[in-house]
Amino acid sequence: MTEEILLRVLHGEVLGASEAYTLMHGLMSGEFTQAQMGAILGILRVRGERKEELLGFARAMRDFATPFLIPAGCLAADNCGTGGDGRGTLNISTGAALLAFALGVPVVKHGNRSVSSRSGSADFLEHLGFPIDLAKDAMERLFAETGFAFLYAPLYHPAMRAIQGVRRELKVRTVFNILGPLTTPCSVAYKMVGVYDPKLLEPVAYVLSLFGVRRGLVVWGEPGVDEVSVSGKTCCLLVEEGRISPLTFHPHEVGFPEYPVEEIQGGDPAENARLFLDILSGEVRGAHRDALVVNAAFLVWLSERARTLTEAVQKVEKAIDSGRALERVEELLGVARRMREGGEHGRHS
């Protein structure tokens, strides 16, 4: 069956959800050669992945994942970009997640090291001093104590080892860039996903609508960023109780100017970590700060901690200006480091 599906992909045919599930199951199980895996990823990249394929792929990856447990009744949030937009911006989604956490949103951030960019979420957090490889039980305790967890993808998706070498050799975005944000190994109530191509808005929203999120948001920003943009319009699809509705956003709606996209570019992980802390300490204003603020505000609003986006922006700015955001992030890093010093890292990998 798996070989038949492989041949269909190689001939350019589109798969249904169940066939896509079987194909991904084969990829995760190591049933294909490196050449076959490279061909599959290359063909999917060229022709584009359909929504039923994404649904089947994501379901298979979630079934292979190591589950992360959060307290019953906890309405946690996750935000993640697909990457692959080629813009090299500051680690905005991860910084926004930390800001939302500082405002009381429980956050389970799912991410990885860079594959096609200069700085992935794991690289960025590591340079902030966060122990990305804490053992699962320690990370679960960290979340229960602080309200923040980072799920380093290789530890929670061990079956991905079968495909990781091919991904690194290709050095371009693949279907796994899209699947990463859809395969958080725990159930979150609020899910915000940034995509690198507006054509992905509807397929990703479709998958979220079937995964039972309380509220989901898929965003693409001009001139081509996988986050809410401060350089032009952002196109969004809001998912609520399985229904999908379109939204648009422009930074002037919350009193922000429009910046050239070059002004939100970042550097390597160390530079991005320093810049983030400088923003939290009040030393940096302008494009980088506004990009972080508006993306954090969207997550705060999506998580029902503010009635309007304007109110959410005001809350985020107040948290930065008062020093509360920096204080909360430093508290989190302190607790996480103490757990690391207790030797609780990576045993489940």
Answer yes or no: is 226 a known binding residue. Answer: yes
92 is in an annotated binding site: yes
In the chain, which segments carry CATH 1.20.970.10? Answer: 2-64
Q: Where in the chain is the domain with CATH 3.40.1030.10?
A: 77-331
Q: What is the pLDDT of residue 347?
A: 47
Residue 117 annotated in ligand binding: yes
* 187 annotated to bind ligand: no
The pLDDT value recorded for residue 348 is 47
Chain position carrying tokens 């956490």? 101
CA distance 83 to 167: 14
Q: Does the annotation place 121 within a ligand binding site?
A: yes
Q: Would you say 85 is a known binding-site residue?
A: yes
pLDDT of residue 38: 94
Beta bridge partner(s), residue 265: 89
Type of residue found at 170: L
CA 17, 21, 24, 26 torsion-angle sign: negative
Q: Are 194 and 93 in contact (CB under 8 A)?
A: yes
Q: What pLDDT score was predicted for residue 343?
A: 65
φ/ψ region of 212 (left if φ > 0, alpha if ψ in -120 to 50, else beta) reads left
**Has 288 been labeled as part of a binding site?**
no
Mean pLDDT by 10 residues, the chain (349 residues): 88 95 94 93 93 98 96 95 71 96 98 74 95 96 98 93 86 88 95 96 97 96 95 98 96 97 90 96 95 98 98 98 98 95 59
CATH of 77-331, one of 2.30.40.10, 3.40.1030.10, 3.40.50.970, 3.40.50.980: 3.40.1030.10
- Confirm or deny that 84 is annotated as ligand binding: yes
Q: For position 37, what pLDDT does the model report?
A: 94
Q: Is 113 annotated as ligand-binding?
A: yes
Q: What is the pLDDT of residue 139?
A: 97
Tens-digit pLDDT profile for residues 221-250:
999 999 999 999 999 999 998 899 999 999
Q: Is 18 annotated as a binding residue?
A: no
pLDDT tens digits along 55-66:
999 999 999 999
pLDDT at site 117: 64
Q: What are phi and psi of 32, to 5 degrees?
A: -110, 155
pLDDT, residue 294, reads 98
Quick check: helix, strand or coil at residue 42? Answer: helix
- Which string of b and e fits 246-265 if b means at least 16 CB within 10 Å? eeebebeebebebbebeebe
Which of the following CATH numbers is that of domain 2-64: 1.20.970.10, 2.60.40.10, 3.40.50.10420, 1.10.1660.10?
1.20.970.10
Instruction: Please answer whether residues 81 and 45 qualify as being in contact, where contact means their C-beta atoms are separated by less than 8 angstroms.
Output: no
- Report pLDDT for 27: 94
State yes or no: 295 annotated in a binding site: no
In the chain the first and final C-alpha atoms are separated, in Å, by 30
